[in-house]
Structure 1
Amino acid sequence: MSLPRRFLPAAVVLPLAAAPLVAQSTKADSARRDSVAQSLTPFSVRATRSTSNIFAAPLAITRVERSQWANRAGFGLNDALGAVPGALVQSRYGTSDVRIVIRGFGARGAGDRSNAGTSRGVRVLLDGMPETEPDGRTAFDNIDLGATESIEVIRSNASSLWGNAAGGVISVSTVPNVDQPYSSMQFQRGSFGLQRIIAQTGAPIGTRGGVAYTSFTNTTFDGWRTNSDARRVTFNAGVVAPVGDATRLRVHLTGANNLFHIPGPLSAQEVAANPRQANATYNGRDERRYNRLARVGASIEHDFGDNQMVSAVAYINPKYLQRSERGTFRDFTRYHGGGNVAYNRADVLSPTLRNRLTVGVDQAYQDGAILFYNLSPTNGRSTTLRDNKKEGAYNSGLFVENELLVNDKLGLTLGARGDAISYYYQNYLNPKTNASKRFAQVTPKLGTSWRFSPTHQVYASFGGGVEAPAGNETDPASTFGQDTVTALNPLLEPIRSFTYEVGTKHVVPVGDGNGFLQSVSYDAAAYLTDVRNEIVPYRGGRFYFTAGSARRVGTELGVRLHAAHGLRFENALTLSRNTYEDYRVDSVHYGNVGAFANYRGNRIVGVPDWFYQSNLTWQPSSAPLGLSVQTGLQGTGGYWADDANSVRIAEAHIVNASVRADRILTVGGARLSGLVAVENLTDRAWIGSAFLNPDVVNGRPLAYEPGMPRTVMVSFSVSRGR
């Protein structure tokens, strides 16, 4: 792996700087240190299923609070997750359509035939319920940062906890933590026609942490590229409340109406000539997605005595999806439903031994019809029906995990999960292609950790992973009319992976709290992931098949410094090397019988060797108008857009800045706040994302998705109670 020389000092100095600070902190009183450290750190996490303490789980976990993305527009998850080491989140067109890669998982989830507007390989939860579909794909229609309170990211391979497509986990919560009624209204205006309205209200229920809340967002965006406009409306409502002394109930309702157009990829020559243009084919077809969906779900937790708890979740998620895609108009009517039940038991075995057992089962099912029509002369739905299919997917998993804690220091974790993933495809116009397929996998987990203090942990872990092929990969030919033999690709098996990881987390108050530097926190991890049955494209993605193997090796570092006068310095750096260990394919040699391309040793498509983000915030408590200033730098190394390593995406470094005033005016308990944010301050030309293994037209690969130029966003909000 390589890193530009200008970044080597930061890569070396940041981790080394923590060492003398840690030594200095050990001179302070231990009780004071732990107390202050705990006040600086969000301890409770729900994404681990069985562990509620971020310093107890032998996993790489990052929690992001609402305040950390408050100075961004908040349209896509990239605004919140840029400071998470190991997580690469790229906005494709400035909308909610993002590409997410965590330690290489999800890398192939971009491009034309990988479905715009979706990701894969990374499991996404919203209020504890899956946005990820049973086949492993995730759309982001329901997720808006304007309605989000916090995000937990598990960067470790988490299939033993969450099953299929859990190379990482992103758990989004909309539940506010409030002790009084509140309401707010925010108005945003920005470059290229960005307009957002965000309304929220809520109130506590009872005296034991209950809350009822609602949020509404309405976003429109003209787009900076041709055919990249979007509009989205989301609604969230929820009730979290105790029912009696031993029961807690959570009810969530969410819905979205999301229309976004897709400008498509360009060649390097087209980017140089005019990066605002759309791909001519995409523009001519007015390629777009119009998704309307809702979800209602509930969860309940009940305590049986002091040491046992049973929890249950159930949800139903109807969807109506329309697409203009690859020369056809497509109507999807889908129903995604499921739930889980888990049993937790905590026992004190002796004065020095504690044990926690978690056993549970997950069920998820999705079914529905897909109707294919010709495009009308106006790129709408014609009256000519070309195909009528049914696609069903069922995912069932049973998991068990046991944690043993010795002397409140040494933790030992052992777990396993068995998953069965089934696909059922029917074609009502051509029934002979009907097919079903079942994948099964057991994934283990083994971890150990040592807690030097309540806020200092080192850990090591080994975990397995499984990722079944997604729906468009099991469909053997994306070119219409070629799939006349079977509806399910016979060439595919699940991706199987094994991750070995070591890491440490530490929060360190410095000195007596009266000096310039007041605290340091860091999160460092190193990992090695071996992947078998890597799914790769055949004939440019018209088919997919199972290749040999791949290896991913990386290190991650997150450092946060808190200083006097409201100064805060946040850094995230990821270094990795991702290579194919075994990959032979003949589809690059049409008409040449017996000829193969061997990509062994090539870099894995779509994953840069390094990326980083650094933010410096000044927010003094005594500043007039509640003023704060933030400046940031984010960068991504170059990476390959094709498995042959012939199409290169250049590195990029982007500067962002913002000025915020939290108390412009206060009248009768209501507060007026304002924000001015500038992204890509230097107006750098760059490539924001890429189509992977792109089509080559007239000898030119159509791979490049230009990044946003300089954008300005102005926001005003009126709030009461928060």
Structure 2
Amino acid sequence: MPSRRHRILRSRALALLAAGPLAIPLGPAAAQAQSAARSGEAVTLEELSVSGDGEGVGQGVGPGIGQGAGRASGGPPRAAAPTPLDKPVGEVVTSIGREGVIDNRAATTVADILRNSPGVTVRQGNGPRDIVVSIRGNNARATGVSRNMVVLEDGFPVTQADGSSRFDLTDPRAYNRIDVFRGPQSPFFGNFATGGALNFVTRRGAEIDGVEVGVDAGSFGYLNNYTAIGGLSGPFEYSLFASDTRGNGFISHNSFDTQTINFLGTYTPTPDNRFTLKIINNTLFTLLPGRTSLNQFAINPFQRGCLTAASAAAGCTTFNLLANGRFGATVPVTADQGAFLRDDRRTIVGARWEHDIDAFTTWRTQLVFDDRNINQPFYTTAARGDFPGFNFLSDVTRRGDLFGLPATGYVALAYNTLDSFSRTYNRVLGAGPALGALIADQDTTQANFGGRARAEVQLSDRWIAVAGISAENTTIDGSNTSYSYAAARTTTTIANVNRSFLNVAPELALLYRPSEAWQLRGRVATGYSTPSAGNLFVTPAGVPGNNTQLRTQENLGFDVGFDWTPVETLRLSVTGFYEFFRNELITQSPGAGLLSFTFNAPASEHRGVEVGASWAFAPGWSATAAYTYDDQVYTRYVEQLSAGTRSTRFDRAGNKIPGVPANQLLARVGYEQRTGPLAGLGGYVETVFQDDFFLDNANLLRAPGYSLVNLNLHYATDLVGYAKRLNLFFEVRNIFDRTYVASAQNLANSISAATGLQNGAAVLANTNGSVFAGAPRNFVGGMKLSF
């Protein structure tokens, strides 16, 4: 017979679970949970959430649970789109909401939002919204595609089967919040989640409840016209966001325009069935400036006077194009001469069916079609390709008892695949972005198939235990045909790949809540990230060829932390992490105009501390901070460098991993007038600090750090009549007009062909193809009308 204690726990859990899904509360929070359950609201014991009106934060227990799942039959139909990843117990998650981050400023890219989360590094990519995001330094070395994380929107994956994510399609105005999962997350998300995951949550139709029309305008010709339409009608809920964004850019040859459509619709025919449709379409056209060397950045950071190579001002970067597009003599060109650009499209269509089998069991099935089409003639090569893929997920979540203890169980089956049809051409000087000879023809298929399981068990009033595991098989099959040209002949080289990777990732977590104010947590988890097909066909020389020896990147991470909320107005969260990597995938550039290549570092360690805090220290006043200390070192890696007939090996053990700043901080102090004739008027000052970081494995050259100060003023008021609400804002960014490095590609070290000695920092500092400058002082303002 179950003990009296177990009977009490079981009856309490059943009472709460019958009212809706929730992360089972701990001890002193039980009264709050019961009250929330009676009102249809779910509760979690979450880590610090830097959020505004973060509707849905904390709802659900595990992946696959939407709001209201498991509701007793007979309740009213719920026509709200489910959010399947609402902060599961045991994960280190920060949620960033709209207030002060999106609503009251022109968040031109997701970088403006994600800086508010500890552990996140953001860099400028190759396009206006092409932000390279890394979590805990994973992926900090990339300059375009983001890897080592899984990205979702409303629970639908927008990471393709090769692990690639791009943020061109993410207009920040569309979102209600972003959840940042930090640390190894493969037990929960599968392949590529060694660094973590992001879940973008769009605004619900009921929240918009009408029509919103807005415009943001600012320096350098920036203009964003956008609209949001949403509503709730019987069993239907819908939200549609559309924007047209364009600008001249603050670097020469960097004008752009991009259009985005983002739709989320839900149909709830019965209380136990919910159908969701997700559509995203983004088109992008942007001119691209040349990435400079560090020395060129110091002389001419914004590439002024660089129309032609012949008349170029000091510090202009040039790239050498083959005069005939095939072999032989080269011609130096600037970005304007070479007509460097990107002309891309991304289309995603997803559908999901959620079915409540009974009051405690939810079954969810979803299918996503994702097509990425690229035309990228920039620098010395041009890439053209189409990358269609599918992503399938079916999972079951069960809320009930495990050995008499309240528990939530989750099992999932996942499959995704991507066909890559990619052609690479030499560039040649001509009218527009003229193409030379074909140098690589790649046709591959990459697929991931696996299963995941997870259990959350409330051991007592104060303790929760979590265990999870995933197992997944990844296959890469295909070939790359590369062509090299000479006057006498054309040489064709075929590199075939037929690789299979089997990976398993477990996790364990324990949460303890000794009082209402304190939550203590510990977690040990693993992650894996296989190479993508594209990594396998670029050699360390930076040219198409065979690089098929790459292995799976694996990491084992330990997290220990606490959340402290002594009063409602003060929240502090601290997390320490220590992660051990094996075969870490590192990407770097071998030099100007060459393709970046990827290699495995046999062993490395990442360790650090993440701190998040918010404090409403006086009526109307508040302060927010997000700080990260991240120390990454090689513990076992010998690098071989070659030049001419000489080769030399260098032991990099103990060196810092390039691309990762040791210290980052966002700090904000603001004021909001809550009452009186000036109610709705507010503002804040924020500083963004990032440490310097090494650009090379030998730790010879550093990209300088920076500290920026931004000022924001905003006003919001309700209106009487046809229009319901008015929002206004004005912002000065980089008030002190600092010149800083917004992005820097890691550089490969080299040796002298004559002596075999390693070249010094002066050689690296003169190697172009690395640096983009950040925006100088600029102004942006906007308004939004709600009807």
> Which residue is equivalent to 2:156?
129
CA distance in 1 between partners of 2:230 and 2:739 (Å): 42
Q: Deviations over 1:98-153 (max 9, x none)?
A: 1212112112322xxxxx3x111121112212221212121112211011111111
Instruction: Give % identity.
Output: 21
Residue 280 (str. 1) matches residue 318 (str. 2):
yes
Shifted more, 548-557 versus 388-397: the winner is 388-397
2:511 counterpart (437, 449, 464)? 449
Residue 707 (str. 1) matches residue 744 (str. 2):
no
Q: Deviations over 1:562-613 (max 9, x none)?
A: 24432221111111211110111111565334x3111111111111111010
> Which residue is equivalent to 1:358?
410
* 1:503 to partner: Cα distance: 1.5
Cα gap change, 1:198 to 1:396, in 2 (>3 Å): same
CA distance in 1 between partners of 2:638 and 2:394 (Å): 43
Shifted more, 31-40 versus 410-419: the winner is 31-40
> Which residue is equivalent to 1:3?
none
Contact 1:55 / 1:456 at 8 angstroms: preserved in 2? Answer: no
> Which residue is equivalent to 1:569?
623
CA distance in 1 between partners of 2:686 and 2:339 (Å): 36
Residue 716 (str. 1) matches residue 767 (str. 2):
no
* 1:313 to partner: Cα distance: 1.1
Contact 2:620 / 2:671 at 8 angstroms: preserved in 1? Answer: yes
2:539 counterpart (453, 477, 486)? 477
* 1:480 to partner: Cα distance: 8.0
AA matched with 2:539: A
Contact 2:669 / 2:685 at 8 angstroms: preserved in 1? Answer: yes
1:504 counterpart (562, 568, 574)? 562
Residue 523 (str. 1) matches residue 573 (str. 2):
yes
Shifted more, 182-191 versus 433-442: the winner is 433-442
Residue 655 (str. 1) matches residue 669 (str. 2):
no
> Which residue is equivalent to 1:18?
none
* 1:291 to partner: Cα distance: 1.1
Cα gap change, 1:332 to 1:465, in 2 (>3 Å): same
Contact 2:622 / 2:671 at 8 angstroms: preserved in 1? Answer: yes
1:61 counterpart (57, 74, 93)? 93
* 1:475 to partner: Cα distance: 1.1
Residue 224 (str. 1) matches residue 250 (str. 2):
yes
1:152 counterpart (179, 186, 193)? 179
For the residue of structure 2 that corresponds to 1:434, the secondary structure is strand
> Which residue is equivalent to 2:283?
257
> Which residue is equivalent to 1:193?
221
Shifted more, 189-198 versus 625-634: the winner is 625-634
What pairs up with 1:171-186 in 2 under 5 angstroms? 171-176=199-204, 178=206, 181-186=209-214
Residue 295 (str. 1) matches residue 348 (str. 2):
yes
> Which residue is equivalent to 1:49?
63
Cα gap change, 1:521 to 1:38, in 2 (>3 Å): farther
> Which residue is equivalent to 2:520?
458
Cα gap change, 1:46 to 1:79, in 2 (>3 Å): farther
2:377 counterpart (316, 320, 324)? 324
2:663 counterpart (610, 613, 616)? 610
Contact 2:540 / 2:598 at 8 angstroms: preserved in 1? Answer: no
> Which residue is equivalent to 1:4?
none
Cα gap change, 1:194 to 1:238, in 2 (>3 Å): same
Q: Deviations over 1:206-227 (max 9, x none)?
A: 37xx521111011002111112
CA distance in 2 between partners of 1:597 and 1:180 (Å): 58
* 1:625 to partner: Cα distance: 5.9
CA distance in 2 between partners of 1:584 and 1:654 (Å): 38
AA matched with 1:638: D
Please tell me whether Structure 1 or Structure 2 has the larger radius of gyration of its CA atoms.
2
1:143 counterpart (167, 170, 187)? 170
CA distance in 1 between partners of 2:177 and 2:85 (Å): 16
Shifted more, 640-649 versus 561-570: the winner is 561-570
CA distance in 2 between partners of 1:170 and 1:458 (Å): 23
CA distance in 1 between partners of 2:661 and 2:364 (Å): 40
Point out where structure 2 has 5 or more consecutive residues left out of the alignment: 1-27, 37-41, 66-83, 304-315, 320-333, 483-491, 751-761
- TM-score w.r.t. the length of structure 2 is 0.80
* 1:388 to partner: Cα distance: 3.3
For the residue of structure 1 that corresponds to 2:99, the secondary structure is helix
CA distance in 2 between partners of 1:100 and 1:679 (Å): 21
Shifted more, 581-590 versus 316-325: the winner is 581-590
* 1:542 to partner: Cα distance: 5.6
CA distance in 1 between partners of 2:163 and 2:32 (Å): 46
Cα gap change, 1:328 to 1:592, in 2 (>3 Å): closer
AA matched with 2:538: P
CA distance in 1 between partners of 2:111 and 2:251 (Å): 19
For the residue of structure 2 that corresponds to 1:645, the secondary structure is coil
CA distance in 2 between partners of 1:121 and 1:480 (Å): 22
For the residue of structure 1 that corresponds to 2:646, the secondary structure is coil
CA distance in 2 between partners of 1:67 and 1:336 (Å): 35
AA matched with 1:174: T
> Which residue is equivalent to 1:165?
192
CA distance in 2 between partners of 1:694 and 1:681 (Å): 35
* 1:672 to partner: Cα distance: 2.9
* 1:46 to partner: Cα distance: 6.4
> Which residue is equivalent to 1:490?
548
1:553 counterpart (599, 607, 610)? 607
- TM-score w.r.t. the length of structure 1 is 0.86
> Which residue is equivalent to 2:584?
534
For the residue of structure 2 that corresponds to 1:534, the secondary structure is strand
> Which residue is equivalent to 2:109?
76
Contact 1:59 / 1:459 at 8 angstroms: preserved in 2? Answer: no
Cα gap change, 1:136 to 1:454, in 2 (>3 Å): farther
Q: CA RMSD in A?
A: 3.0
Cα gap change, 1:260 to 1:397, in 2 (>3 Å): farther
Contact 2:125 / 2:132 at 8 angstroms: preserved in 1? Answer: yes
Shifted more, 29-38 versus 284-293: the winner is 29-38
Q: Deviations over 1:596-646 (max 9, x none)?
A: 111111111111111010111211211526211111011011111111111
